[in-house]
Amino acid sequence: MDKLVIRGGKKLKGAVHISGAKNAALPVIASTLLAPGGSIIRNVPNLRDVSTIGRLLTNFGAEFSYKRGNAAINTKRIKTLEAPYDLVRTMRASVLVLGPLLARFGQAKVSLPGGCAIGARPINLHLMGLEKMGADIKLESGYIIARGKRLEGTSIYLDIPTVTGTENIMMAATLAKGETLIENAAREPEVVDLANALVAMGAKIEGAGGSIIRIEGVDEMKPLEYSVIPDRIEAGTFMAIAGITGSDITIQGCRNEHMDATILKFQDAGLVFENVTGGIRVTGPTRPRASDVKTLPYPGFPTDMQAQFMALMSIADGTSIISETIFENRFMHVAELRRMGADITIEGGTATVKGIPMLKSAPLMATDLRASASLIVAALASRGETVIHRLYHLDRGYEKIEKKLRGIGADIKRVKK
């Protein structure tokens, strides 16, 4: 397995370009199943998760090819409606094909995603929404078997504003008969991006980005050409890197309006932001200030930035309290940060981080996607050489991260095995 070798302590300077958002690209790619024909999706990051969804579509009989940020998909001929366990277990977001398949073909068989490193992650709300629209859903031998001729619009209240749940229901509702209301919908920019893509395919959707989304079903959807939004979590990760290394990094192509909570928290920690043409320039402080943070659904502080923020806080001046409210097991990075000398204690969903002046290098193991990112953040500021093992997760979500970091002066290399 590949590993990353990082010699920390260097000041970084220069510009990085932000890739397309993984969590926008995946649902938009899944949505192409709603309409027969050829679609082109642009600004798609070159990631393992993108090739997994490509394999899933190919498995259904669709054509999928990817070249330099463009995914070309043709969903005219679909020969099977089954998403097999082997693909779903490598990427939970595979469940995003459920809504579109059911809506277009009246049936789908999708492996039930299991739990993952960060939590149990049930999909009961996805299934409840589809059932309320008239689908007959059974769980058999680890598979969701969904049937329903034409789904019918209805009002659906989500107990939790689930991101992929909102997306699945919204996609299914585009082809339903009548109007669907999703109440307490997720408000993430990726949900809005998917809604924009669906509208470009002919859907009638209002209110995405707010808590109530109204979808008026149409009889058919058409293929689309669409460019996905930049990745706000990748951008936030580079902000954390600027903060922890006291560097001057210009982040190009990100959408600042998607990052209010993240930027405000980083400002609280002493980072300085300046809008420049095409991006935002971030300057890290000599030493970050402690700042408390609580993860919340958008527009709150994103759970996907919690691990990177904690890495920053581990060398802050003072003590910060970090509360994780979205996933029950998203502190896997803490044990690794502690191995670098960080002073962090956990009680339930709350971590108390007492900042120390400097982290020390250590061999580390990446446990999930954002935990991997936090270890890179920490390693770039630590004394000595850090080796990060198990890059599998990182490659699911960060495009060419070591190349981007080398471009701004980091001493980082990937050792292939």
Assess contact for 343 and 281: CB atoms under 8 A.
Answer: no
Question: Of residues 234, 304, 395, 402, which one binds ligand EPU by CB under 6 A?
Answer: 304
Strands (E), 123-260: 136-140, 143-147, 155-157, 179-183, 204-206, 212-216, 225-227, 248-252
Q: Using the rule CB under 6 A, is 397 a contact of ligand EPU?
A: yes
Least Å from the CB of residue 356 to ligand EPU: 27
Q: Using the rule CB under 6 A, is 93 a contact of ligand EPU?
A: yes
Give the residue among 173, 25, 149, 147 at the shortest CA–CA distance from 81. Answer: 147
| Closer CB to ligand EPU, 93 or 171, in the complex | 93
Query: For residues 47 and 37, what is the distance between their CA atoms, to the nearest angstrom?
Result: 24
Q: Using the rule CB under 6 A, is 123 a contact of ligand EPU?
A: yes
Q: Using the rule CB under 6 A, is 122 a contact of ligand EPU?
A: yes
First to last CA, the chain: 5
Q: Using the rule CB under 6 A, is 119 a contact of ligand EPU?
A: yes
Q: Using the rule CB under 6 A, is 18 a contact of ligand EPU?
A: no
Query: For residues 310 and 320, what is the distance between their CA atoms, to the nearest angstrom?
Result: 9
**Dihedrals phi, psi of 91, to nearest 5 degrees:** -155, 110
| Closer CB to ligand EPU, 171 or 369, in the complex | 369
254 in active site:
no
Instruction: Say what the alpha-carbon torsion angle 40, 45, 46, 50 is, to the nearest 10 degrees.
Output: -70
Convert residues 151-170 into a mask of x (bound to ligand EPU by CB under 6 A) and - (unbound): ---------x-xxxx-----
Collapsing DSSP states into helix, strand and coil, what is residue 67?
strand
Least Å from the CB of residue 97 to ligand EPU: 12
Assess contact for 161 and 184: CB atoms under 8 A.
Answer: yes
Give the residue among 169, 166, 84 at the shortest CA–CA distance from 134. Answer: 169
**What amino acid is encoded at 109 in this protein?**
K
Least Å from the CB of residue 77 to ligand EPU: 27
| Closer CB to ligand EPU, 304 or 399, in the complex | 304
| Closer CB to ligand EPU, 290 or 337, in the complex | 337
Assess contact for 356 and 314: CB atoms under 8 A.
Answer: yes
Q: Which residues of 64-76 are buried (b: 16+ CB within 10 A; e: fewer)?
A: bebeebebebbbe
- Listed in sequence order, the residues at least 6 apart from 136 whose beta carbon sits closer than 8 Å to its beta carbon are 146, 147, 148
| Closer CB to ligand EPU, 9 or 122, in the complex | 122
Least Å from the CB of residue 1 to ligand EPU: 20
From the list 112, 116, 145, 212, the catalytic residue is 116
Q: Using the rule CB under 6 A, is 125 a contact of ligand EPU?
A: yes
Least Å from the CB of residue 121 to ligand EPU: 4
Count of residues of this chain found to bind ligand EPU when the rule CB under 6 A is applied: 24
Convert residues 199-228 into a mask of x (bound to ligand EPU by CB under 6 A) and - (unbound): ------------------------------
* Candidates 31-39, 65-73, 119-127, 276-284; binding stretch for ligand EPU (CB under 6 A): 119-127
Query: For residues 370 and 407, what is the distance between their CA atoms, to the nearest angstrom?
Result: 22
| Closer CB to ligand EPU, 123 or 290, in the complex | 123
Assess contact for 2 and 417: CB atoms under 8 A.
Answer: yes
| Closer CB to ligand EPU, 328 or 385, in the complex | 328
Q: Using the rule CB under 6 A, is 369 a contact of ligand EPU?
A: yes
Question: Of residues 7, 121, 132, 222, which one binds ligand EPU by CB under 6 A?
Answer: 121
| Closer CB to ligand EPU, 145 or 358, in the complex | 145
Least Å from the CB of residue 379 to ligand EPU: 19
Least Å from the CB of residue 319 to ligand EPU: 26
Residues of the chain by 3-state class (helix, strand, coil), percent to 5: 35, 30, 35
Assess contact for 201 and 192: CB atoms under 8 A.
Answer: no
Which parts of this chain interact with ligand EPU (CB under 6 A)?
Answer: 23, 26, 93, 119, 121-126, 160, 162-165, 186, 190, 303-304, 326-327, 369-370, 397
Residues with a known catalytic role: 116
